[in-house]
């Protein structure tokens, strides 16, 4: 006792593992760090090392103990058993750790968004600027249109622009082949940009070979040129630091996750020459790729386009089948209407679809989009409520339409089967002709009746819906 009082309380030996230590509290894994279960690979291996140290210590003690050799071998075999069991138990622990890590990694995989989508989100929330690639994506389509004038420009100055390389570019451009234009290498793009810059900004056209000479001499900086063309053609993107980008970003990310986590891409702008008819100058959502193609947000980071396309993602995520079928229906009715009115498909689509109840566009932009906007505000403010649910009236409407269509298909199939059966046993040409005629008139009648029923149903459904409301 005296000795103890003199020495004070004994310090714990740092060499020796403290087996009475409380298990450490586990912190939840950060989004970008390694899984929490993998962190225990470190603690696990530490523990294993401690066990082996202890075994070594025990063996030393046994060896130096004043006991009989028989007893020594007995104790040594006990220490051997200890080491064996340690290895076995630690292997089990390692397996458990791996399982935990796999589980966690799996979860993370689901929650992950790809790098490009993340970049688009960051641009929208003002955390990142546009890269050269983004600008090229935006401008490349503008190039398609501009190249047409560049070709005539070449024709005008043809004799002076005999550089074989640039000639190749023009030939490729002249073919207006989408593949060859998207595969042009960087040098060619630089040349075209140079040409465009000279052509669009200077009052007098500068000959091709002069521009080329400037490029070759390095007097034209590609990055600066790109920036300048982007500004003149699209606009200047100001980074908005006032709206707390990090918070906005996390709100957008949360919203993206709630809408089925679609991919986000910047889309081609200013289609002077449209590569695909049907695509126009707006953002759009491609349901088969589950990707929103977005305009670059030049007007003060308005997330309008993003939220609008997320509404489509939400729609297709929640009800892929009914949305697909409705989209086909919309397309059919739009093409019918455009034929009748003589206007283009796109114009008719824009005019009618956004205001007709039951259509894909109506559901997305009139029903889901306002909810998503509210949701984004709540997420930003931190007053999170349960996620947005799609209204059921539209869904019910579509399901009823699905039933009607199924009936129509059945009738058509029965009619054609009946016709083929009778046609087989027809004896004379006259009979065959009569059968053909009656088949045609029957199928026409079926379709007319379907159209009538559909129209009546549509009107009545929404009338009832309004009454109920």
Partner 1 sequence: MDAAKINKTINKLADILDAEADAIERELLSETLKVPEKKRP
Task: Find the helix or strand (DSSP H, E) in which 14 lies.
Answer: none
Report the C-alpha gap between 394 and 396 in whole angstroms: 5
Report the C-alpha gap between 215 and 96 in whole angstroms: 62
Restricting to residues 79-138, which ones interact with partner 1 according to CB under 8 A? 79, 81-82, 85-86, 89-90, 92-93, 96-97, 99-100, 103-104
Q: Which residues contact 127 (CB under 8 A, 6 or more apart)?
A: 245, 246, 249
Give residue 376's Cα distance to chain centre.
18
What are the two backbone dihedrals, phi and then psi, of residue 263, each rounded to the nearest 5 degrees? Answer: -80, 150
Site for partner 1 (CB under 8 A): which residue of 16, 56, 71, 437? 71
Note whether 331 binds partner 1 by CB under 8 A: no
Cβ–Cβ < 8 Å for 335, 342: no
Smallest distance from partner 1 to CB 1, Å: 20
- Which residue number, 72 or 167, has a Cβ lying nearer to partner 1? 72
The full DSSP string for 167-222 is: HHHHHHHHHT-HHHHHT--HHHHHHHHHHHHHHHHSSSPPPHHHHHHHHHHT-S-H
Smallest distance from partner 1 to CB 19, Å: 4
| Exposed e or buried b per residue across 29-67, where buried means at least 16 C-beta atoms within 10 angstroms of its C-beta | beeeeebebbbbeeeeeebbebbeebeeebbeebeeeee
Cβ–Cβ < 8 Å for 367, 389: no
- Which residue number, 26 or 445, has a Cβ lying nearer to partner 1? 26
Smallest distance from partner 1 to CB 109, Å: 17
Smallest distance from partner 1 to CB 17, Å: 8
Smallest distance from partner 1 to CB 387, Å: 24
Restricting to residues 149-178, which ones interact with partner 1 according to CB under 8 A? none
What would the 3-class secondary structure string for 385-439 be?
Answer: CCCCCCCHHHHHHHHHHHHHHHHHHHHHHHHHHHHHHHHHCCCCHHHHHHHHHHH
- Which residue number, 8 or 23, has a Cβ lying nearer to partner 1? 23
Task: Find the helix or strand (DSSP H, E) in which 27 lies.
Answer: none
Smallest distance from partner 1 to CB 100, Å: 5
Site for partner 1 (CB under 8 A): which residue of 49, 67, 171, 396? 67
Task: Find the helix or strand (DSSP H, E) in which 286 lies.
Answer: strand 284-286
Site for partner 1 (CB under 8 A): which residue of 15, 24, 42, 70? 24
**Of the ranges 21-29, 134-142, 201-209, 358-366, which one interacts with partner 1 (CB under 8 A)?**
21-29
- Which residue number, 89 or 187, has a Cβ lying nearer to partner 1? 89
| Binding pattern for the stretch 26-65 against partner 1, x by CB under 8 A and - elsewhere | x--x-----xxx-xx--xx--x---x--xx--x--xx--x
Smallest distance from partner 1 to CB 80, Å: 10
Restricting to residues 349-378, which ones interact with partner 1 according to CB under 8 A? none
CB atoms within 10 A of CB 382: 8
- Which residue number, 36 or 404, has a Cβ lying nearer to partner 1? 36
Which of 252, 226, 349, 263 minimizes the C-alpha distance to 307?
252
- Which residue number, 96 or 445, has a Cβ lying nearer to partner 1? 96
Residues that bind partner 1 (CB under 8 A): 19, 23-24, 26, 29, 35-37, 39-40, 43-44, 47, 51, 54-55, 58, 61-62, 65-67, 71, 75, 78-79, 81-82, 85-86, 89-90, 92-93, 96-97, 99-100, 103-104
């Amino acid at each position: 006792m005296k000795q103890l009082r003199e020495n004070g309380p004994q310090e714990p030996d740092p060499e020796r593992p403290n087996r009475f230590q409380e298990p450490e509290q586990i912190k939840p894994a950060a989004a970008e760090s390694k899984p929490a279960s993998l962190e225990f690979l470190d603690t696990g291996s530490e523990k294993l090392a401690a066990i082996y140290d202890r075994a070594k210590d025990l063996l030393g003690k046994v060896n130096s103990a004043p006991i009989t050799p028989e007893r020594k071998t007995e104790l040594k075999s006990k220490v051997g058993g200890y080491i064996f069991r340690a290895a076995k138990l630690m292997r089990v622990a390692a397996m458990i750790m791996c399982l935990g890590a796999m589980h966690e990694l799996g979860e993370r995989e689901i929650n992950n968004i790809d790098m490009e989508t993340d970049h688009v989100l960051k641009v929208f929330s003002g955390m990142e600027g546009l890269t050269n690639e983004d600008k090229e994506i935006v401008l490349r389509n503008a190039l398609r249109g501009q190249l047409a004038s560049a070709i005539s420009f070449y024709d005008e100055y043809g004799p002076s622009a005999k550089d074989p390389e640039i000639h190749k570019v023009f030939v490729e451009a002249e073919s207006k082949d989408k593949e060859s234009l998207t595969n042009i290498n960087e040098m060619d793009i630089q040349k075209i940009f140079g040409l465009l810059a000279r052509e669009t900004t200077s009052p007098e056209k500068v000959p091709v070979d002069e521009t080329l000479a400037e490029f070759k001499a390095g007097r034209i900086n590609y990055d600066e040129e790109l920036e300048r063309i982007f500004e003149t053609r699209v606009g200047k993107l100001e980074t908005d630091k006032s709206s707390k980008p990090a918070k906005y970003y996390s709100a957008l990310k949360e919203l993206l996750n709630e809408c089925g986590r679609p991919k986000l891409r910047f889309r081609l702008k200013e289609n002077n020459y449209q590569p695909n008819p049907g695509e126009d100058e707006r953002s759009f959502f491609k349901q088969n790729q589950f990707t929103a193609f977005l305009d670059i947000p030049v007007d003060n980071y308005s997330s309008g386009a993003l939220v609008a396309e997320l509404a489509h993602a939400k729609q297709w995520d929640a009800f892929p089948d009914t949305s697909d079928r409705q989209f086909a229906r919309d397309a059919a009715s739009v093409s019918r209407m455009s034929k009748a009115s003589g206007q283009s498909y796109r114009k008719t689509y824009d005019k009618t679809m956004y205001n007709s109840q039951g259509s894909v566009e109506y559901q997305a932009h009139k029903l889901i989009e306002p909810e998503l906007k509210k949701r984004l505000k709540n997420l930003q403010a931190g007053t999170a409520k349960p996620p947005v649910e799609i209204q059921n009236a539209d869904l019910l409407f579509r399901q009823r339409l699905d039933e009607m269509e199924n009936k129509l298909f059945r009738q058509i199939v029965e009619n054609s089967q009946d016709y083929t059966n009778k046609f087989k046993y027809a004896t004379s040409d006259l009979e065959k002709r009569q059968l053909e005629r009656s088949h045609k008139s029957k199928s026409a009648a079926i379709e007319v009746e379907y159209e009538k029923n559909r129209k009546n149903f549509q009107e009545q459904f929404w009338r009832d819906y309004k009454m109920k409301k």
